[in-house]
Chains A and B, each alone.
Chain A
Amino acid sequence: MIDWSIITDSLPQYASGLWLTAQLTVLSLVAGLILAIPLAVMRISPRRAVSGPVWVFTYFFRGTPMLVQLLLIYYGLGQFEWIQAQWQAGNAFWLIFREPYGCALVTFTLNTCAYTTEILAGALRTTPHGEIEAAQACGMSRLTMLRRILIPGALRRALPAYSNEAIFMLHGTAIASTVTLMDLTGAARNAYSQHFAPFEAFIFAGLLYLTLTFALVGLFRLAERRYLAHLLPRKAIKGHTA
């Protein structure tokens, strides 16, 4: 029933697709997280002028499909003559937006950044009052308090929600195949159209995604055991059985 030769024939394409999927996922998650930290701090500011723009950014990117965002950036930007002129002039920054790889990376980064900002802002808001008071009592400046108390604590508390976001991002990168990129889904679509074998092509890709998902879940479980060790259920101490 299953024609294994279809999979073995396309194995090199699946391998390079896997590599591209991993690249897109990891690069956008890392860049998105780094950008999200200052944005989350701005997001919880009591001043509207500071938190407002961040709210608009997260509201847009969380309220629209990532596919439409990608199409808007990849096909949409070329509509403007000014950007075309920048491409003609060889402006290195704007040339990123002419390549599908650059567009996908920018879209995915902004998208995950928006979700991560809200996750981190939520975690910052739930900082226990006592921790802030203790920091103030120690005479910490606001910046020192952010660096030593607020952000490290928020990053830990955000870990379970962030692991979900990371998995969503891994799955979200599948839409890169709609802008001609040969990621794992792109490789599967290619294998399908070459052999007209949907089951082999897509189930094999699905299994690879499943493996990546389990690997990611495992990594986050390790991270939680390390950074949320204080929340683990207490183990019975030897010789002191109740």
Chain B
Amino acid sequence: MLHGYAASLLDGAWLTFQVAVLSLVLALVLGLAGASAKLSKLWLLRAPAVAYTTIVRGIPDLVMMLLVFYGGQMLINLATDALEWDYIDVNPFVAGVATLGFIFGAYFTETFRGAFLAVPAGQLEAGAAYGMSRWQIFSRILFPQMLRHALPGLGNNWQVMQKSTALVSIIGLSDITWLADQAGRSTHQPFLFYAVVCAFYLAMTALSSVVFNHLERRYSVGVRRSAA
């Protein structure tokens, strides 16, 4: 099947999955940090977070990725020249994950910010009235409820993010799209191989929506649904 390219495509699929999951982790961390900074009382924390979300969300992910990949290589070259080290190649895997995480961190920042604001202040005051510490209020009251409000938005962001992983093929990472391109060229059947890539992404996005539906049910325990 697939003219002997099935194993190679499977490798590419695994790489794409890794890129997606690792950049999700990075984006979640950046998103939580960004949301905390944006909600901070300190202007010094708020201003860079506002700049981050505005600029990143205003530029195409491809342009950002090319900037990080080629620009990062140039910065490293300058650094290695100055320190008289050996030449270091920018790894397209690291560049891809870093860029996707950095871009989607901005979208996650907005999602988390809205979710933190959606938790009623009275809940936090009630926690304080019970004599909970700041950490207890955060971990027992604010965070679990914030997550419930954030989940639908996170699910949307994640769906967009998975599809953006295809861009890493442009900076030369041998993900499923890049391998399908190679296979299509050598067998003269590009349609077949791109169709396989489409099927892979459809499966991944379908699986994600199952997982997110489950999580949303889990975190909405005790929320009354409207009858409609």
Interface segment, one of A7-15, A65-73, A137-145: A65-73
Contact yes or no, B62 A78, CB < 8 A:
no
Instruction: Decide yes or no whether A219 CB sits under 8 A from chain B.
Output: no
Enumerate A188-211 residues with CB–CB distance to B below 8 Å.
188-189, 192, 198-199, 202-203, 205-206, 209-210
Q: Using Cβ atoms and an 8 Å threshold, which residues of chain B touch A171? A: 59-61
Whose C-beta in chain B lies nearest to the C-beta of A78?
B190
The smallest beta-carbon distance between A238 and chain B, in angstroms, is 33
Assuming A189-B66, A206-B63, is B191 touching A65 (CB within 8 A)? no
Enumerate B184-220 residues with CB–CB distance to A below 8 Å.
184, 188-192, 194-195, 197-198, 201-202, 205-206
Tally A residues with Cβ within 8 Å of B: 40
Complex Cα gap A60–B163 (Å):
12
Contact yes or no, B191 A76, CB < 8 A:
yes
Q: Quick one: which of A60, A192, A199 contacts B202, CB cutoff 8 A?
A: A60
Instruction: Decide yes or no whether B166 CB sits under 8 A from chain A.
Output: yes
Instruction: Decide yes or no whether A241 CB sits under 8 A from chain B.
Output: no
Contact yes or no, A71 B177, CB < 8 A:
yes
Q: Quick one: which of B55, B57, B189, B197 contacts A68, CB cutoff 8 A?
A: B197
| B51-65 near A? 1/0 per residue, CB < 8 Å | 000010111111110
Q: Using Cβ atoms and an 8 Å threshold, which residues of chain B touch A185? A: 60, 62-63, 66
Complex Cα gap A205–B206 (Å):
35
Instruction: Decide yes or no whether A64 CB sits under 8 A from chain B.
Output: yes
Whose C-beta in chain B lies nearest to the C-beta of A207?
B59
Q: Using Cβ atoms and an 8 Å threshold, which residues of chain A touch B206? A: 63
Assuming A202-B71, A210-B58, is B201 touching A63 (CB within 8 A)? yes
The smallest beta-carbon distance between A170 and chain B, in angstroms, is 8
Q: Quick one: which of A59, A77, A172 contacts B191, CB cutoff 8 A?
A: A77
The smallest beta-carbon distance between B69 and chain A, in angstroms, is 8
Instruction: Decide yes or no whether A80 CB sits under 8 A from chain B.
Output: yes
Contact yes or no, A75 B66, CB < 8 A:
no
Assuming A65-B201, A68-B201, A178-B170, is B67 touching A75 (CB within 8 A)? no
Give the 7 A-B residue pairs with the shortest CB-CB distance, closest first: A76-B191, A198-B70, A65-B166, A174-B60, A171-B60, A202-B67, A72-B194
Q: Chain B: residues with CB nearer than 8 A to chain A?
A: 55, 57-64, 66-67, 70-71, 73-74, 160, 163-167, 169-170, 177, 181, 184, 188-192, 194-195, 197-198, 201-202, 205-206
Q: What are 10 contact pairs spanning A and B, CB under 8 A?
A: A64-B163, A64-B202, A65-B164, A79-B191, A170-B60, A171-B61, A175-B167, A198-B73, A202-B70, A210-B59
